Every structure is written in C-alpha cells, then in structure tokens.
Amino acid sequence: MKFKLVMAIADDRRTRDLVKVAREAGATGATIVAGVRGEGRKRSFGILGLEISEARDMLLFLVEETRARRVLEKLAETGELDETPGTGVAFQIDVEDAVGVRHQMAEIAAEIEKSA
Amino acid sequence: MLIAIVDDQWTERVMDSAREAGAAGATLIQEARGQGRKGSRSVLGLELDSGRDVILFIVPRDRARTILESVARTARFDETAGTGLVCEVEIEDSLGLRHQFVDAVDHSAAMEPSP
C-alpha cells in the first residue's frame, strides 16, 4: 500500500474542523504540531518590534495514495484556502516507505473491500 | 518545498535571505532540538543541544535551487560544522497557493517570447 503525506498549515482555530473533514475523506489519523508561526507574501510587522504573525497549526496526515487528492480538496474547501488569502496551504508529498501503519492498512483494506 | 533546520539565532537572517531570493512565505517551527555528528554535551544530566528552528518554504520549482543556495550561504552551512542544513522535497500537489504565486504567474507570462 502506498502512502502520501498530506500537510496543511492553517489557522489554529480551524484545526478541529480540518482534522474532522480529513478523516471523513479517508485519513486514518492526524498529527498536529501546534504553535507554528507563519508568514505569507506580505511580511508581518508588529508593534514595538513584536511580530504578530498568525498562530498556526501544522497538520500531518499519512494518507493512502488513492485518497490523498480527496483529502487535499476537502481541506482546501473547509479551510477556504484558495478563496481567502492568509488562510493557509495544503499540499502532498510522496512517502517512499512507511512502518507503523499496519493497523491503518488493515482498516483501509477492510473499507475498500466493503465499498467494492 | 525547502526544509531548513538552523540555529535559532540565524532564523531571521535565513528567512530574509530566502525572501530576497524569491520565497513567498515561510512557516516556522520553533524549539526543535538538534544533534550533529558529535552528539551533544551534557552537564549534570542537562543536555546542551543548541536551539533549532525548522523553517519550511514552499517555493516554485524554478526558484528552489537559487533559494537553497542563498539560505546555505547566509547560514554558512558548508563552511561551519553544526550550523544546520537545508534540503528540498518535491511537492506533488497543492491547494491554497493561488494568492502566494500571483506574481510568479505574472513573471512566467512575461517570460513568454512575444510573437
């Protein structure tokens, strides 16, 4: 089974919703790195030298290959990533090999069999 | 995507140089911990890993190498051991970047040979 790593970097207020829709779209888990700082095209300048860049969470999903695009689209739709500037980004990276996903693989295989 | 792992004192300068070289934005993960070839020293059980930041840059492919080199030069990765590293990972697909690369699109349109 091939996996993709779907990463989303978004406003921390949306984290809960994004994880929820990613799960619905076929992600079998999520890793959240909280308190990441982000800067977009416009540099953020703060008051008295304190930067007020947005509070971000970084979400990592190890997703079975055939579901990756769907997860990505759901994330973009829910997070309004393409509609509104500064909301965040989502992208996917190829994963060459993975261990520790045996239980997820069993779950995914069962779901695919059920839907077939 | 470029992933840079640098001493936290260099973060600001690395982000500036990447921006000058054409990166449209950056994501900063603070307080990662790093160890190089020599492991880390410790005093009374307290480890003295230097504070590291992980910086992610999502950049157009044609600018990646320039930014990579600019970051490496700024942070002196190749001159001094233990300063950090930067690497490039291929992004297969992405959404939410429309606003970031407006100028990149304009730029490539301007590069088209005129009929």
User: pLDDT band at A24, cuts 50/70/90?
Assistant: very high
Contact in structure between A18 and A77 (CB atoms under 8 Å): no
Distance from CA of A96 to the nearest CA of B (A): 12
- Distances in Å between the Cα of B14 and the Cα atoms of A18, B11, B79, B88 are 30, 5, 15, 15
Tell me, which fold does domain A3-115 have in CATH? Answer: Alpha-Beta Plaits (3.30.70)
> Residue A27: CA atoms inside 13 Å, Cβ hemisphere, count?
27
CB contact under 8 A, A38 and B93: no
CB contact under 8 A, B99 and A91: no
Using the Cβ of B98 and the Cβ atoms of chain A, whether some distance falls under 8 Å is answered with yes
Which tokens belong to A69?
Answer: 């695009």
Instruction: Supply the pTM of this predicted model.
Output: 0.77
Which one-letter DSSP state was computed for residue B45?
T
- Distances in Å between the Cα of A33 and the Cα atoms of A12, A65, B32, B70 are 10, 23, 11, 27
User: pLDDT band at A95, cuts 50/70/90?
Assistant: very high
Which one of B25, B58, B96 has the shortest CB-CB distance to A81? B96
- Which domain CATH number covers B81? 3.30.70.120
> What average pLDDT is seen over chain A?
85
Using the Cβ of B32 and the Cβ atoms of chain A, whether some distance falls under 8 Å is answered with no
Tell me the C-alpha distance between B45 and A3, whole Å: 39
Dump pLDDT digits (tens) for B42-85: 666 555 566 788 999 999 999 999 999 999 999 988 888 878 88
Query: Does residue B112 register a pLDDT over 50?
Result: no
Using the Cβ of A27 and the Cβ atoms of chain B, whether some distance falls under 8 Å is answered with no
For B3, list phi and psi in degrees, rounded to 5: -115, 115
CB contact under 8 A, B25 and A41: yes
Residue B45 confidence (pLDDT): 57
Residue B89 confidence (pLDDT): 92
Q: Which string of DSSP letters, residue by residue, matches A31-76?
A: EEEEEEEEE-SSPP--GGG---PPEEEEEEEEEEHHHHHHHHHHHH
Which tokens belong to A13?
Answer: 């207020």
Residue A62 confidence (pLDDT): 92
Q: Which domain holds residue B25?
A: 2-38+46-111
The mean pLDDT value for B109-115 works out to 45
Dump pLDDT digits (tens) for A45-92: 555 545 556 678 999 999 999 999 999 999 999 999 888 888 889 999
Helix (H, G, I), strand (E, B) or coil at B94: strand
Dump pLDDT digits (tens) for B87-105: 999 999 888 887 776 654 4
Tell me the C-alpha distance between A8 and A59, whole Å: 5
The most confident of the ranges A28-42, A75-89, B100-114 is: A75-89
Residue B85 confidence (pLDDT): 87
Residue A83 confidence (pLDDT): 87
Residue type, A89: V
**Which of A114, A110, A86, A93 is CA-nearest to residue A28?**
A110
Residue A43 confidence (pLDDT): 65
Residue A100 confidence (pLDDT): 79
Burial class (CB in 10 A: 0-12, 13-18, 19+), B25: buried
CB contact under 8 A, B100 and A88: no
Using the Cβ of A82 and the Cβ atoms of chain B, whether some distance falls under 8 Å is answered with yes
State the best of B57, B94, B97, B106 to mutate against chain A, taking most chain A CBs within 10 Å.
Answer: B94
Interface predicted TM-score (ipTM) over 0.85: no
Structurally, chain B folds into a number of domains equal to: 1
Which one of B1, B95, B99 has the shortest CB-CB distance to A90? B95
CB contact under 8 A, A89 and B95: yes
Q: Which helix (H) or strand (E) holds B108?
A: helix B102-111
CB contact under 8 A, A92 and B91: yes
Using the Cβ of A85 and the Cβ atoms of chain B, whether some distance falls under 8 Å is answered with yes
| Crossing angle between the packed helical segments A15-24 and A65-79, to the nearest 10 degrees | 140
Pairing type for strands B91-95 and A55-64 reads unpaired
Looking at per-residue confidence, does A39 or A6 come out higher?
A6
